[in-house]
Structure 1
Amino acid sequence: MSITVIPTALSEVKIIEPRVFGDARGFFFESFNGRAFAEQVQAGVEFVQDNHSRSSKGVLRGLHYQIEHAQGKLVRVIAGEVFDVAVDVRRSSPTFGQWVGVTLSAENRRQLWVPPGFAHGFVAMSDVAEMLYKTTDYWYPEHERSLLWSDPAIGIEWPLDGAPTLAAKDAQGLPLAQAQTYE
């Protein structure tokens, strides 16, 4: 897997750009290679679940995390475009409460590594956006938590054109000051 790893303002969160081989027939790239991921991104990661999400323009999902069975996520877009966000929710971290946002699209083929200890969310920027993401632990709905996407204490600069479309659990997310977080 030929990849370029790009650091973000949150040192554990990484942007991954694969090397794409293209010609008149189309393109090919390795979307995941365990050896390269371990050598260049983070060693010791085992993915156990793959998820597929489809959203319409303006749908905002998140900011989700699991307080037990924390999940790392390797996120990519296969159709359309999203603005993808990670928020550090580890109280002992020097970057607690800070966020980073990245545009992921089918065109740029970028991926985002969101390690355990971070809340994750995105807003669909195109008419339709489809995402695939790998997780390091299974989904446990009883442990899932949602941060309030619009918490001014976090201050995420969502590229929105009007109010987003939210699931009930996301509309009822808690501000960081009231949320259950990691130590």
Structure 2
Amino acid sequence: MELNRLLLLTSFLLHLEEGPASPARLVCDTRLINKYIEDAKDMEKRVGQCQALPALGCPAVLPLVDFNAQQWRSRSNESKRREILCDLALLVGAVAGAQGQLHQECGARQLGQLYRQANTFLLLLQTFEWEAGPWEPGCPPRSVEQTHITSIFFVYRRLVQGKLRFFLHSLTKDSC
């Protein structure tokens, strides 16, 4: 399991463009998070173009990722990180469940890409050097059940565009 996490983190770092990469670079170089936001938009658009995607037989449990910006800013970075980790863990589980139900090539390809990106962020936030120590699962995120595959992509885009981007921005003040 640890080897898989190390390989995934290494893969993430090797696929970052524009020179040497590090987890701190994701925090300090806003172009990277913007790239991931564009990737999320692109995945959502491409899956929306798939012909007649079937509804999921077993609903996907997705995190509710909306937030109040003013309240978000007043929270500690560790609190934000834990909430994002909960959201990502729930999202990664939903994508894995949807992958097992979808056998259509078009949607399956995008689900695979989404799984890799969301899991990479999950592992990155778990392994980045934090003062409070490692993350442990067990938090109950707010959630909703959805049977539409496109909802998974919508939630991921909103998470990356919202909480994750604002979180990385708040880390910029202390790290860059």
- TM bracket (short chain): under 0.3
- TM-score, length-normalised on structure 1? 0.23
- TM-score, length-normalised on structure 2? 0.24
Structure with the larger RCO, 1 or 2 (CA within 8 Å, 6+ apart): 2
